[in-house]
Amino acid sequence: MSPAAAIPELPTRASMLLRLAEEGAGGVLERAGGLLYLVDGRVVHAESEAATPLGRLVVGAGRLTEAQWAEALERCGGDSGRAAALLVKDGRLADGALELCRHTALFDAACFALAPGGGAARFRHGVAPEGGLALSVPADRVLAETARRRRLLASLWPGAAMDTQPVLRRTPGPDRPVPSRLRALLDLADGVRTPAELARALGRPAFHVLVEVRRLAIAGLVEPPGPRARQPTAARTGRSPAARSRAPDGFESPDIALLQRVRDALEACL
């Protein structure tokens, strides 16, 4: 192929990843939000500082204790992939449970690595991860799942403003029961921890915690960042009641029915 006919650099991270997949490339796709490692055009590993690492997911799922994971990690020189495989070999971790946690970790990290605003992408051929998740996932599946997650986040008020700010809980009234899963998150929402830090502390995927935090803001259980100005009413904005429900006026405390709907919606996406 002549230089004039060479394939141009594609402008978006999605098209670049698909092109690398079609070429059967091997190496690492680097962006500010994280890394995607490819072998033969398939995604084998993903990393992001915003995502919850494999070890925290395994412990958070109740599969192991902190001490068991730390011991395995030390035996494997800090390699989380080898540590997890060792725990399976020793019979302390089921292979199916590890497979689920590996896929969860990959999609969690990919969601942030491919997120908007992550800057330009660079691909370095021949670079392999140190350890890794030992997976092989089609690039189009990773992109489809990432797009689904970003659409869900984009649909939830108050948007990305909550994603990197410390989360501060509001105390619900005594007649406002909170589901146990959300209670654990609220108990740690001290105005210091960000959603990513809450996710690591709880051993939950960071994406799921972002969804929970945004929905808790809708329910009036956590403070949104900045001044708590009242939102425009539907009469002034012309929004439908359904749209208005994404940004309730004055961040009122929710009723029991609303909390139940929040819990059902969260369970449906986890």
Mean pLDDT per 10-residue section of the chain, whose length is 270 residues = 36 80 96 96 96 95 92 92 92 93 97 88 93 90 94 88 90 72 91 95 96 90 64 37 38 41 47
Q: What is the pTM for the complete model shown? A: 0.78
Q: Is residue 26 within 8 Å of residue 125, measured between CB atoms?
A: yes
Per-residue model confidence (pLDDT) at position 218: 87
Angle ∠(129,131,133) on CA atoms, nearest 5:
90
**DSSP-derived pairing of the beta strands 137-138 and 42-47:** antiparallel
Per-residue model confidence (pLDDT) at position 1: 39
Please name which of 170, 172, 152, 148 lies closest in space to residue 160, comparing C-alpha atoms: 152
Q: Is residue 172 within 8 Å of residue 253, measured between CB atoms?
A: yes
Per-residue model confidence (pLDDT) at position 109: 97
Question: What are the domain boundaries of the chain?
Answer: 11-147, 159-269
